[in-house]
Structure 1
Amino acid sequence: MNTKVLFVIATGLVLSTARVSAQATDCATTASIAYEHAKVKNYASAEEPLWKVRKECPTYSLATFQFGQKLLEDKYKKAPDTEKVGLVNEMIKLWKERLQYFPAKTKIGDMHSDIGQLMYDNKMGTAESQFAEFHKAWTEDKENVSNPKNVYTYFSLLVDLHGEKKKELQQVFDLYDEVIEKIEDEESDKAKTIAELTEKEESGTALSSKEKKKLNRSNKILSNYSKVKAGINQKLGELADCKNLIPLYNGQFEGKKTDANWLKGAAGRISAKDCTDDPLFFKLVEALHKVEPSAKSAYYLGILALKDKNTTTALKYFNQSAELETKASDKGKVYFKIGEVMKKQGSFGKARSYYKKALSQRPSMGVCYLRIADMISDSANSCGNDVFSKRAVYWLAESYARKAGKVDPSLQSTASKFAANYSAKAPSKTDIFNNPGIKSVSIGCWIGETVRVPKL
């Protein structure tokens, strides 16, 4: 190769490198201008340079798409209804570009469920096309379908499509099980955080600003999921009543009687809806225990034993179920059931133990706190030494009742009423003033707890 040819190649490489370097510099400069405006929400000035970076150097930074989303969200909020659909299409285009250029930093679940929600809110496409977006999110990345509103809309669309004869009833039930499981897992996670931070705060330790934000956020998310759960159950409505469940599962039984998963779902739904008096429930439980003796079959056998008023046998099966169960929320339900049996027998100490075991598995089960509060209240006369200490028992009952509302927003109204009732029975301000030396009260018998006297 002669010197002239080498010179031409070298010159080309230098010019090419220079162009790449110039483009990189231009991208960095333009992006810097766009990002600075976007950071202070000056989207009008940020738009032109931001879209230039998006078009000419889309791989420059994930921030391009993050700020782009905020910019479009701002425009969407301010836009008249006639312009919203166009902005939604632009948002969807932006999200898909982000997935193309930053797949590792883009969550399929969030993205497609948000697309489905925007389509639904703006009446874009058919119900089937809206449902398809949610379904893709759910089946490919359920863990990251994080918006409670999206979860509700997904289920609601399926119920509506079933009403139009486009989806089977069994599909509705299957999705219901999955959705409720996800909601209960989210509730347990947030309720655990709330319980821990509330206990820390009540002990007299001040929460840091970070902890306060975490507590407020957990409360908000828990409240949203509680509303969604109630909405989903309302949407399911009569579809899951005994009059629909019994004929549906009777018709499917022969073909499904060796399918353990189907048997679990059918028996679980019939148990949840208290259709257990129907002979079908016994057939389901018997078949399930034959195909796959498990925590579920033991639990249902316990329910049947309770119906026959054979408490000893029922407790045996419930304890077997608790030992075999690996899913925390279901283990919590079994412990709660044992607690209910113990409470009914008057074994309050044992009942409390099982209610607390239930809470350790499913922290959002606020009903356990209400049950403990009720037992403590019922024991006021027998667990106090004098009038003041007997009435002080109600402070402890009030404390448990308030915990119920904190970890389960759906119980907030009920919990507040119980707490107010207990508070009215506790020592008055005059009683506290007349006993200045009493700072705390140790409560005996099965309760075995100490309650602090409120400050005047």
Structure 2
Amino acid sequence: MKTKITLLALMLFLGFNVVNAQQNQECMTKLSIFSEYAKAKNYNAAYEPWMFVRQTCPKLHLAIYSQGEDILEYKIENSTGADKMNYINDLIKLWDERQVNYGSKTKKGEYAAKSCQLMYDNREMLNKTDEELYNCFDEAFKADRENFKNPKSLYTYFSLMVDLFDAGKKTDAELFNKYDDVVEKVQEEISNYSEDLNKLAAKEEAGQSLTSKEKSYKKYYESYLNAYDQISTSIDKKLGDRANCENLIPLYTKDFEANKTNAVWLQRAAGKMSEKECTDDPLFFKLVNAYHALSPSANSAYYLGILKDKEGKSNEALKFYEQAVSLETDNFKKAKLNEKIGDKLRKKGSYGSARTYYGKALQLNPSNGRPHLKIADMYNRSANNCGEDNFSKRAVFWLAEAEALKAGRVDPTLKSAAAQSAASYKAKAPDKTLIFNKGNQGETIKIGCWIQRSVTVPSI
């Protein structure tokens, strides 16, 4: 009897292995079939063999999920009504399955945000409320902030918060805290992509050619920097006047006592009041001094500089600004501080000093073209005061044009604005008739006053 049972068990085991081997072989065959169809973008033909492999051998290959995403996105785009809704829900399910079967290759912050975004983009069809969608994004952001970096999803996340605030479902504090969360994340990503782009810019500046792979990376970095630049503007527009001094001051006044030992809260409150130019209020003084006493940092030193500026003590203010730069260890943030100092000096008419700080900003972050445009603007404003005669005064515009062109070369977000500025400056520079009458083609003209630069008269 024992022998019969053993033989039966052995036969069942062998039979199971044979069936399993056959299934695996069929999965491998259909994997190859759907993969080739997907590569050729024949997604309708790919669908059936792909579904077989997905359901039968879900751990067989990552292509089940990477190419399956392409297949379902095609189906969604090319269907309507109930079919479209089914494909949308199936894509969300596919991302969940990927998390289960390929968790180490599925970043939660990335794929959860994609799922939330898909639901948001089809919210009417799926009957999703703003609250449900916000909670979806919020959960993804909190679970994996590092990989929640898609520009569109970051904007949608914040936009939903504003909509909920306007509907009376979120408080002022929740709105401003979420604004800070999202803006800080956007700035981190801009810093990361700028750092990568700066390495390639340094190679080009040294006269070295980029490899084809490096050129592809450059386009990729520039594309994301453009996207983050656009959503930064959109986020600020969406926030609008909701974060004005009339709203900020009573809110931070009310919460100050409870948060006067919370360095993060103090930094964000002081930063928001500085950003919105609420620095005349005594609360700003309280926030800055409490923050600096609790956690001396580049930010607190910068805010103290603002206070000294308000008191009319420019030299003391500059010392605090310099201290802020020395305390900052991150090159991207250090560059921003130098640019801010340059901005303050430019507004005061201290153009030579402003250019020095803009130069420091460019050394630290050469892919930021804004300092070039600001230097060009200072040249433009100084043309009438920095030349000996009409020709040399107008020659200053060649310097302005050159700076504007640099901005467009190094910064993908400024190409259009830089080109317009350069064309404007070029139109003000000496024309061919003036150069011909002067007869100084190819000569070098020294520009005086604070500019102290030379420019070569172009040939005609």
Q: Shorter-chain TM-score category?
A: 0.7 to 0.9
- What's the counterpart of residue 185 of structure 1? 188
Aligned 8 A contact 1:188 1:362 in 2: no
Q: Is the 8 A contact 2:225 2:413 kept in 1?
A: no
Q: For 1:146, which of 146, 149, 168 is the aligned residue?
A: 149
Q: Deviations over 1:273-328 (max 9, x none)?
A: 00111111112122222323332222111101101110111011111111122344
Gap regions ≥5 residues in structure 2: none
Measured against aligned partners, the alpha-carbon deviations of 1:165-224 in whole angstroms (never above 9, x if no partner) come to 322221211121121122223334445566666787788876554444444433332222
1: distance between equivalents of 2:220 and 2:456?
29
Match of 1:418, SS?
Answer: helix
Taking a change above 3 Å as real, the CA distance of residues 452 and 252 of structure 1, as seen in their structure-2 partners, is same
Aligned to 2:132: 129
2:318 aligned residue: 315
Instruction: State whether residues 192 and 363 of structure 1, in contact with CA within 8 Å, keep that contact through their aligned partners in structure 2.
Output: no
Aligned counterparts of 2:196 and 2:400: Cα–Cα separation in 1: 22
After TM superposition, give the deviation of residue 225 of structure 1 in Å.
1.8
Contact 1:298 1:321 in 2 (8 A): yes
TM-score (norm 1): 0.86
Contact between 1:226 and 1:409, CA under 8 Å: does it hold in 2?
no
* Aligned ranges 1:372-383 → 2 under 5 Å: 372-377=375-380
- What secondary structure, in the 3-state scheme, does the structure 2 residue paired with 1:49 have? helix
Matched residue type, 2:180: D
Q: CA deviation at 1:416?
A: 4.0
Aligned to 1:156: 159
Report the residue type matching 1:293 in the other structure. P
- C-alpha spacing 1:51/1:279, structure 2 compared with 1 (3 Å): same
Aligned to 2:111: 111
Q: How far apart, in 2, do the equivalents of 1:340 and 1:292 lie?
A: 26
Report the secondary structure of 2:162's partner residue.
helix
User: Amino acid of the residue matched to residue 51 of structure 1?
Assistant: M
1:293–1:343: structure 2 CA closer, same or farther, 3 Å change rule? same
When the two chains are superposed, the root-mean-square deviation of aligned CA atoms in Å is 3.5
> Where do residues 296-315 of structure 1 align in structure 2 (5 Å cutoff)?
296-315=299-318
Give the secondary structure class of the aligned counterpart of 1:309. Answer: coil
Structure 2 match to 1:250: 253
- 452 and 63 in structure 1: CA distance in 2 versus 1, 3 angstrom threshold: farther
Give the stretch that moved more between structures: 49-58 or 82-91.
82-91
CA distance in structure 2 between the partners assigned to 1:384 and 1:296 by the alignment: 40
Compare 194-203 and 422-431 and name the one that shifted more.
194-203
Distance 1:18 1:361, change over 3 A: same
Separation (CA, whole Å) in 2 of partners of 1:425 and 1:277: 40
Query: Quick check: 2:197–2:367 contact (8 Å CA) kept in 1?
Result: no
Task: For 1:366 and 1:241, locate their aligned partners in 2 and report how far apart those are by CA, in whole Å.
Answer: 29
Task: Tell me the distance in 1 between the aligned counterparts of 2:138 and 2:243.
Answer: 22
Contact preservation (8 Å) 2:405, 2:418: yes
Q: Any conservation in 2 of the 1:188–1:364 contact (CA below 8 Å)?
A: no
Question: For residue 57 of structure 1, what is the aligned residue in structure 2?
Answer: 57
Equivalent residue, structure 1, for 2:48: 48
Q: Contact (CA 8 Å) 1:275, 1:281: kept in 2 or not?
A: yes
Check if 1:217 corresponds to 2:213: no
Tell me: CA distance 1:72–1:126, structure 2 relative to 1, closer, same or farther (3 Å).
Answer: same
TM-superposed CA distance for 1:264, in Å, is: 1.1
Supply the AA of the counterpart residue of 1:246: I
1:199-214 equivalent positions in 2, closer than 5 A: 208-214=211-217
Which residue matches 1:102?
Answer: 102
The whole-number CA distance in structure 2 between the counterparts of 1:386 and 1:201 is 38
| Number of matched pairs | 455
Whole-Å separation in 2 of the counterparts to 1:154 and 1:400 = 37
Q: RCO (CA 8 Å, sep 6+): is it higher in 1 or 2?
A: 1
User: C-alpha deviations, 1:342-392, integer Å up to 9, x for none?
Assistant: 446665454323213224455565432222223344566787899877655
* 1:230-260: CA deviation from partner (whole Å, max 9, x where unpaired): 1111111121001100111111112222222
Contact 2:441–2:457 under 8 Å retained in 1:
no
Answer yes or no: is the 8 Å Cα contact 2:201–2:367 preserved in 1: no
Alpha carbons of structure 1 residues 129 and 452: separation in structure 2 relative to 1, 3 Å: farther
Contact 1:187 1:364 survives alignment (8 Å) = no
Q: Within 2, Cα distance between the matches of 1:327 and 1:203?
A: 24
Checking the alignment, whether the CA contact within 8 Å between 1:194 and 1:407 is kept in structure 2 is: no
- Which residue is 1:35 aligned to? 35
- Percent of pairs with identical residues: 47
What is the rounded CA distance, in whole Å, between the counterparts of 1:398 and 1:329 in structure 2?
A: 26
Instruction: In structure 2, give the amino acid aligned to 1:128.
Output: E
CA distance in 2, matches of 1:272, 1:119: 34
Match of 1:326 among 324, 329, 335: 329
Decide whether the 8 Å contact of 1:191 with 1:407 is kept in 2.
no
Q: Counterparts of 1:280-291 in structure 2 under 5 Å?
A: 280-291=283-294
Write the letter of the residue equivalent to 2:54.
R
Which ranges of structure 1 fall in alignment gaps of 5 or more residues?
none
Q: Which amino acid aligns with 2:291?
A: L
Mapped contact 1:131–1:158 kept (Cα < 8 A): yes
Q: Does residue 244 of structure 2 align to residue 241 of structure 1?
A: yes
Q: Determine the C-alpha separation between the residues in 1 that align with 2:400 and 2:214.
A: 27
Mapped to 2, the partners of 1:238 and 1:318 lie a distance apart of 29
Structure 2 vs 1, CA of residues 398 and 202 (structure 1 numbering), >3 Å: closer, same or farther? farther
Q: Check conservation: 2:440, 2:457, Cα contact below 8 A.
A: no
2:263 to 253, 260, 263: 260
